[in-house]
Amino acid sequence: MSGQETFTYTFTDGSYTDTVNVTISTTIATITNPMNIGVVSGEGYPVLSISGTWEGNTITGMVGNSGQVQLLHGVLFDNAIFPGTTSGGGYGPGGGNGNTQGLDVHGLEFSVSGGIEQTDVNVFTQQGVFYDIQDPNDNQIQITFDGVTPSLSSLGSNACFAEGTRIATTRGDVPVEELAKGDAVLLHGGGTAPVVWIGHRTIEPGRHARPNAVQPVLIGAHAIADNVPARDLVVSPDHAFYFNGALIPAKALVNGMTIRQVERRSVTYYHVELPAHAILLAENMPAESYLETGNRQAFENGGAAIALHPEFAQPLREAASCAPFAEHGAIVEQVRTQILERAGLETTDDAQLRVEYRADGAAIITSRSAVPAEVTPDPRDRRRLGVKIGGLMAGDEPVALDHPALAEGWHGVEADGRWTDGAALVPASLLKGRVLTVTPLKAGLRYPVMQQAAETRLTA
């Protein structure tokens, strides 16, 4: 049984605020070659559907070819996106096509109904700029998306403990890799349950199609409460923990300091199956047991062929779990507020905005930066933000915030301005030897004083 992932592209154009939802299967499929273009080999993710609105009209269906993401070769078809990536790099014909937000260079094709007419739309990227074609003369119209957000609920259900995690049993705390079938595990709230199966899998995240989906999250000792967890606890991003009647995944708890995602060249994950989905104790922290939803093949000892890039998809997870799941909302924000207060992260509203000029005539707008999902109670905005810019001047000449040359270090244009990522490039071609004047906006973002957020990814 495969899982799904949805990308929601949002954008504002004049009086319209629209969304394009693209749902893909997270099961890797072998590429077909319906157009017979040369020799095509590789693997990809089938596009299942495209929905939403375009210029106020309802999207009615997909058109175009293949509908598969293709990696590690030079030919791409229509209706292809790159889940979890921020740069298409050399995936397009000839390489280096500048894909910046997961959309392939041939684009997404869909149809919309406007009045009595049916119109086909092709949205694509070229050199990092988004365009659309929707007229018989194939005229290209540049567009700017406000954001591209993968659905938080389907980034892959790789819910496992890293090797070395101690699980509470009737014979004491036992490293997960040393558990055996029949061991009695202590349950949160009392009672015990026997181990019926231990799944394991070694992964090299750097070779995974979406490394962040499998790079482990480290929950520091005492990050939640005194002795919770009792030691540093390392789990996969989707492993859920029990808080106030709900299961919250580790990735929704990250604060960049006491709870952070770390980079590992290799990690061995284990999961513990009990007779029913339940809450056990891992390093004294209430954590879910393994929920079997048709994904045993993701484990080396699952009795089936192993997927090249295991997604650990659990599409039945919410329906079959022992407690409701929450990845955002009131209960998550309540828990995150307590974790942030306990961490004692000192913040400031001083962005330390500076303009630095390079020898080649370009300028860099530098500042402090922060990830809102780490420093605020809401875990959804995972962009690294620097300052929000309301205007730019090169000498006496305004520079449009949506100028195509403003690409490196810039997020998408919003209604009132544009965020940098803390180091935004203004090329020499725009400055032409003139002084750059920056007008920042007060956007309410607070920055870690000691820049802990810049240290959230450690190499181990």
DSSP tag of 263: B
Torsion sign (Cα): 127, 129, 130, 134: negative
The domain that holds 231 is classified in CATH as: 2.170.16.10
In a domain, 334, yes or no: yes
Q: Are residues 171 and 298 in the same domain?
A: yes
Q: Are residues 325 and 359 in the same domain?
A: no
Q: Under 8 Å CB-to-CB from 208, ≥6 apart: which residues?
A: 214, 309
Q: How many domains does the chain have?
A: 3
Strand partners, 260: 218
Torsion sign (Cα): 155, 256, 102, 121: positive
Transcribe 157-186 into DSSP letters: ----EETT-EEEETTEEEEGGG--TT-EEE
Other Cβ atoms less than 10 A from the Cβ of 40: the count is 18
Rg (CA), the chain: 24
pTM as predicted: 0.64
Q: Do the Cβ atoms of 247 and 291 come closer than 8 Å?
A: no
Q: Are residues 283 and 397 in the same domain?
A: no
Q: Are residues 276 and 423 in the same domain?
A: no
Q: What is the pLDDT along the chain (460 residues), one digit of tens a residue?
A: 345 666 677 777 767 778 888 777 666 555 555 444 444 444 556 677 788 888 888 888 877 654 444 443 344 445 655 443 333 333 333 333 333 344 554 567 788 876 656 788 877 766 556 677 776 666 677 776 666 554 333 334 456 899 999 999 999 999 999 999 999 999 999 999 999 989 888 888 776 656 777 889 999 999 999 999 999 999 999 899 999 999 999 999 999 999 999 999 898 999 899 999 999 999 999 999 988 655 554 554 544 333 333 344 444 566 678 999 898 999 999 999 999 999 998 999 999 999 999 999 999 999 999 999 999 999 989 899 999 999 999 999 999 999 999 999 999 899 899 999 999 999 999 999 999 999 999 999 999 986 443 333 333 3
In a domain, 91, yes or no: no
Strands (E), 363-428: 363-366, 388-394, 397-399, 410-414, 417-420, 423-426
Tabulate helix, strand, coil % of the chain (nearest 5). 10, 40, 50
Domain finish residue from 312, 342, 372: 342
Residue-range definition of the domain harbouring residue 245: 161-342
Q: Are residues 257 and 312 in the same domain?
A: yes
Q: Are residues 258 and 372 in the same domain?
A: no
